[in-house]
């Protein structure tokens, strides 16, 4: 018949391996065809189509295509044939499944059009079984995820979501902006909305957004959301948001942080008893470090870590002879090596006590300098962390301004001059600038002050 490809190849007998019948499942670009008459029976079928569904030509021709259509797709296939009759010359497309003897199923993309001259439907079929199988597998994985995964359009309207997201935000069509305005903790709204708005203007994956949300005013859950701008992807055309409930992790971390602070307070008290001078210096340095970090607008947890590290930065001196620590004049080479070991000793004490890297690292590196002249590792430039530099500057300020057993402290003018001279040479410019901005506001911090608590 007109428009139908002829074939002289033998049809493979029914029952052959399904993968072989479909050419290994990679035939997504090979079109096969059949013709369906006005009575909805097949009047002609190509060898490729018979091969695809594992049937001989005489098992296809004269039968309704619904006979070998998957039961769940019968109604949609019937509607397609009816629609083709009503709109001659206009192609209709349907993704559907055919059953194959032996229990296999093939998924196809069927393009059908009523051909008036032939008084029949011409159908072209593309095998997309492999693609459909991968898609179903991905859908199962997504639907099984405990994370809420959803897609929103340019107007914050949910266009797709998995089961976990349905339980969290509701059905497709929900406006996420309106929902978050009600459910999100008021303190977290501005930053979260700003982060999502930024994601709209910048394609790709963005930093996680951490926020609190709940159903009331007293019970809040912690969440972490990753945002991926795929508006330009024709398969997605939206912002993909993956939301994970991290309440348990947040509570566990809070408990660890509280244990860390408790240990810090205990070590400070021990230091007070064994070496009041060093303990006082550490308290003052902690207050200075806290104010520098705050001036630099660091996050609350980092400020707390820096303050705690500064309050313990000389804890490694606890076992050193007082005669060496208070010795006037220059130290002998072996004495200098011993004094410099306090960084590593302090780091080892705190690490063995289970303290976080945010605290132990500045204790180890508070004598490192950006020109590489420091110790114990001779780090230089960006190798010296910001936290370590803040503790270093705070240490230097208090050490220079405080009276020592072997000398009087420098005046404020001399301390400021010293900082300016060492700016960009020993210390990071931003840290020195912040220290100079808050210079004069430093006050001694009492031993029981909870200055290393975030918030």
177 and 48 part of one domain:
no
Interval 9-18: pLDDT, tens: 333 333 334 4
Rounded mean pLDDT, 256-264: 85
210 and 256 part of one domain:
no
Q: Confirm whether 34 is domain-assigned.
A: yes
Asked whether 180 and 200 are in contact (CB, 8 A), the reply is: no
Interval 173-218: pLDDT, tens: 999 999 988 889 999 999 999 999 999 999 999 999 999 998 666 6
pLDDT score recorded for residue 407: 58
More confident residue, 3 or 97: 97
Provide the residue range defining the domain that includes 307.
250-438
Sign of CA dihedral 91, 92, 94, 100: negative
Q: Final residue of a domain: which of 86, 107, 134?
A: 134
Q: Confirm whether 209 is domain-assigned.
A: yes
Q: Is the pLDDT of residue 163 over 60?
A: yes
What Rg do the C-alpha atoms of the chain give, in angstroms? 36
More confident residue, 404 or 156: 156
353 and 254 part of one domain:
yes
pLDDT score recorded for residue 373: 95
38 and 60 part of one domain:
yes
Interval 37-47: pLDDT, tens: 989 999 999 99
263 and 235 part of one domain:
no
Q: Confirm whether 140 is domain-assigned.
A: no
Rounded mean pLDDT, 244-273: 85
Rounded mean pLDDT, 247-270: 85
pLDDT score recorded for residue 156: 93
Q: Is the pLDDT of residue 5 over 70?
A: no
254 and 238 part of one domain:
no
Which CATH number covers residue 192?
A: 3.30.450.20
- At 447, the pLDDT band (50, 70, 90 cuts) reads very low
39 and 125 part of one domain:
yes
Q: Is the pLDDT of residue 248 over 70?
A: yes
- At 454, the pLDDT band (50, 70, 90 cuts) reads low
234 and 327 part of one domain:
no
Q: Confirm whether 82 is domain-assigned.
A: yes
pLDDT score recorded for residue 440: 60
**What gap in Å lies between CA 133 and CA 138, rounded to an integer?**
9
158 and 104 part of one domain:
no
Q: Is the pLDDT of residue 277 over 80?
A: no
- At 7, the pLDDT band (50, 70, 90 cuts) reads very low
- At 423, the pLDDT band (50, 70, 90 cuts) reads very high
238 and 269 part of one domain:
no
Least confident span in 220-224, 371-375, 424-428, 439-443 = 439-443
**Residue located via tokens 């090979």:** 30
Which CATH number covers residue 401?
A: 1.10.3210.10
pLDDT score recorded for residue 23: 40
34 and 113 part of one domain:
yes
Number of structural domains, the chain?
Answer: 3
Q: Which of the listed ranges 19-23, 227-231, 331-335 does the model predict with the highest average pLDDT?
A: 227-231
- At 274, the pLDDT band (50, 70, 90 cuts) reads low
Rounded mean pLDDT, 146-153: 94
273 and 395 part of one domain:
yes
Rounded mean pLDDT, 384-401: 92
Rounded mean pLDDT, 368-384: 95
Q: Final residue of a domain: which of 220, 245, 270?
A: 245
Interval 20-33: pLDDT, tens: 444 434 333 345 58
């Amino acid at each position: 018949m007109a428009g139908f490809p002829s074939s002289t190849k033998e049809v493979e007998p029914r029952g052959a391996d399904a993968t072989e019948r479909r050419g290994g499942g990679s035939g997504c670009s090979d079109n096969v065809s059949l013709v369906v008459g006005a009575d909805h029976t097949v009047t002609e079928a190509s060898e490729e189509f018979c091969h695809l569904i594992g049937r001989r030509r005489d098992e296809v021709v004269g039968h309704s295509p619904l006979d070998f259509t998957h039961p769940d797709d019968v109604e949609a296939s019937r509607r397609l044939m009816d629609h083709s009759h009503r709109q001659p010359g206009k192609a209709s497309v349907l993704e559907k499944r055919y059953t194959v003897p032996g229990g296999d199923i093939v998924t196809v993309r069927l393009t059908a059009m009523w051909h008036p001259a032939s008084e029949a439907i011409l159908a072209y079929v593309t095998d997309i079984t492999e693609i459909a199988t991968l898609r179903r597998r991905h859908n199962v994985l997504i639907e099984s995820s405990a994370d809420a995964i959803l897609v929103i359009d340019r107007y914050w309207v949910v266009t797709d979501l998995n089961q976990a997201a349905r339980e969290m935000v509701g059905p497709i069509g929900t406006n996420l902006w309106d929902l978050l305005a009600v459910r999100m903790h008021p303190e977290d709204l501005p930053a979260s909305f700003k982060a999502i708005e930024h994601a709209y203007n910048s394609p790709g994956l963005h930093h996680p957004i951490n926020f609190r949300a709940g159903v009331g005013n007293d019970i809040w859950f912690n969440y972490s959301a990753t945002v991926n701008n795929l508006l330009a992807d024709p398969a997605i055309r939206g912002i993909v948001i993956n939301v994970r409930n991290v309440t348990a992790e947040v509570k566990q971390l809070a408990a660890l942080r509280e244990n860390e602070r408790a240990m810090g307070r205990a070590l400070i008290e021990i230091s007070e008893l064994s070496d009041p001078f060093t303990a006082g210096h550490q308290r003052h340095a902690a207050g200075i470090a806290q104010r520098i970090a705050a001036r630099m607008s660091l996050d609350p947890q980092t400020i707390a870590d820096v303050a705690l590290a500064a309050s313990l930065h000389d804890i490694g001196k606890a076992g050193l002879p007082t005669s060496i620590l208070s010795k006037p004049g220059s130290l002998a080479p072996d004495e200098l090596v011993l004094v410099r070991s306090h960084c590593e000793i302090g780091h080892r004490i705190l690490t063995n006590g289970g303290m976080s890297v945010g605290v132990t690292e500045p204790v180890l590196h508070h004598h490192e300098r950006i020109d590489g002249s420091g110790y114990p590792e001779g780090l230089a430039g960006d190798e010296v962390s910001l936290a370590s530099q803040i503790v270093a500057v705070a240490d230097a300020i208090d050490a220079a301004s405080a009276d020592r057993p072997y000398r009087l402290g420098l005046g404020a003018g001399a301390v400021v001059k010293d900082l300016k001279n060492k700016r960009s040479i020993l210390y990071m410019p931003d840290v020195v600038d912040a220290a100079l901005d808050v210079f004069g506001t430093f006050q001694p911090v009492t031993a029981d002050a909870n200055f290393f608590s975030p918030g």
